[in-house]
Amino acid sequence: MDKIIEDDELGRLVIRVNSRARSLVFRTKSDAVYVSVPPGTTLKEVKQAIENLRGKLLASRQKIARPLIDLNYKIDAEHFKLSLVSGEKDQFLANSRLGVMEIVCPPHADFTDEKLQSWLHKVIEESLRRNAKSILPSRLAFLSKQCGLPYSSVKINSSQGRWGSCSARKAINLSYYLVLLPSHLIDYVLLHELCHTREMNHSERFWALLNQFTEGKALTLRGELRKYRTEI
């Protein structure tokens, strides 16, 4: 019988015992990461292997999950909207303002070209970064003052593994992919990191504190957040 692990970063991992397997084998597919393990392998050993390979698994998962950015590609988030339209000139033109970006594309653009896809990702991600810098620090400062949870600094980064993090020195890092979330989930992540300024682990005291600032909905909001990914 398969064992299922739900991971905040990797999504679903399906663990299957294979009588012929001599070592752990990971296969990344669109719906999950499948892990074949020899008989007698413990769950602890599987989880340790996942941690050792987390970086590679994340890269593989994101590569498979990445949709093609073309004229049908859109982002319609609360704080960031993106559209691609066909133009008449033989060059790309990116128009952006706070919360909105439009990319005008040449009429015969080859969207299957890997270099073009890489460039489009970089242009969109840079716009996400600018939007995040305009939105997140001020919101974090507001919630910090409201909840009485001070922090030492905040930085916006390109993390595709975590929505945010907080160091022992109360320095908070936030992924610019946060602007793809609805407002209530942005607040949840910000409050989550602010609570880490007082409780550095995920103990019962941490969740009690986070529940205090989310009307008792911390676990519900965590479950909702898992539907989203730190990627475009």
Residue 170's contacts (CB-CB under 8 Å, 6 or more residues apart) are 150, 151, 152, 153, 197
The CATH code that applies to domain 131-226 is 3.30.2010.10
What's the confidence (pLDDT) of residue 75? 96
CB distance 12 to 4 below 8 Å: yes
Interval 32-68: pLDDT, tens? 889 999 999 999 999 999 999 998 898 887 777 668 8
Q: Where do the structural domains in the chain lie, given as residue ranges?
A: 3-64, 74-130, 131-226
Query: What are 108-134's pLDDT values in tens digits?
Result: 999 999 899 989 999 999 999 999 999
Instruction: List, for residues 77-90, the tens digit of each pLDDT value.
Output: 999 999 999 999 99
Residues 10-22 pLDDT 10s: 878 899 999 888 9
Q: Please report, rounded to a whole number, the percentage of residues in the chain having pLDDT higher than 70.
A: 97
State the pLDDT at residue 231. Answer: 80
DSSP tag of 12: E
pLDDT at position 7 is 82
